[in-house]
Amino acid sequence: MTQKKKVFTGAGVALITPFRDGEVDYPALERILEQQIEGGTDAIIVCGTTAEAATLTDREHKEIISFSVEKVNHRVPVIAGAGSNHTDYAIELTRFSKDAGADAVLLVTPYYNKASQKSLVRHFQMIADAADIPNILYNVPSRTGLNISVNAYRELAKHPNIVAAKEASGNLSAILQVFEACGDDLAIYSGNDDQIVPLMAMGALGVISVLSNVMPRETHELTQLCLDGNFREAAKRQLEYLPLINGLFMQVNPIPVKAAMAKMGYCTGEMRMPLCEMDDADNEKLYALMRDAGLL
């Protein structure tokens, strides 16, 4: 098989979607995009979990992809969340993302209806066949109730458009088996900020990160240390950032990171139901962690 192209190496940000009065706040989104690029982020992922993609309308989803591609203007790769539990809709979003100029798509495993491993493979193969754009699979069983098996990964890695996986299963032993099974045919990105160094030590190319929303420079530098082979210093940084990383997941993502971004002045912090703001006590715990990290 021809060597597959790497979409990015380092730290890609799983970007929030800023809202104001129930609508997407595009001026705030543009400021956040610029803040990320100035902060050294290596890729921008829009319309994923952290972006509250589940509550975006079809129009908003597509507008955010087009807007982000236009504003970023090839300065870093833009990866569009295009996954769905409806295969035809995932194909539609994938084709749209390619036509809009996205550099890759992020495809979450089907949720709610789930799938057998056989149908899961067929689902991803149909999407990959539908448009010539790099596909990054997204394995997050805590949200979808579905885990990509090693055998399914092995089969999917044979497809030329399936180039990588965002692994957020948290199961290091299982991910190690994926490395062994797929080799160079499938790049791996950490989907968990608390596992950046362990996974990069195993060969991951980087992370798709929530932490990068508030610490783009630091997250980029952490991944660069790993890429440079300086795992001793990278491990020190991983542990240094761990309290804030845990704080950003003290409630379901993206509730805490939106509170953090609002405190830093990047957005209103508004979310869409069924997500709502934290209470004052949890906000103060988060702000204390942010002060300790030098963000406030």
Residue 232's Cβ-side half-sphere holds a number of Cα atoms within 13 Å equal to 0
Q: Which residues pair with 190 in a beta bridge?
A: 167, 207
CA atoms of 15 and 47, how far apart (whole Å): 8
Q: Evaluate whether 120 touches 151 at the Cβ level (below 8 Å).
A: no
Longest dimension (CA), the chain: 54
CA atoms of 288 and 105, how far apart (whole Å): 36
Q: What is the end-to-end Cα distance of the chain in Å, rounded?
A: 49
Sign for the pseudo-dihedral over CA of 256, 105, 141, 8: negative
Q: Is 27 exposed, middle or buried (0-12, 13-18, 19+ CB in 10 A)?
A: exposed
Pair of tokens at residue 77: 């790769």
| The one-letter amino acid at 209 | S
β-pairing, 187-190 vs 162-167, is parallel
CA atoms of 152 and 226, how far apart (whole Å): 28
CA atoms of 107 and 120, how far apart (whole Å): 12
Return the closest-CA partner of residue 286 out of 262, 256, 252, 258: 256
Q: Which residues are catalytic?
A: 138, 166
Q: Is 1 exposed, middle or buried (0-12, 13-18, 19+ CB in 10 A)?
A: exposed
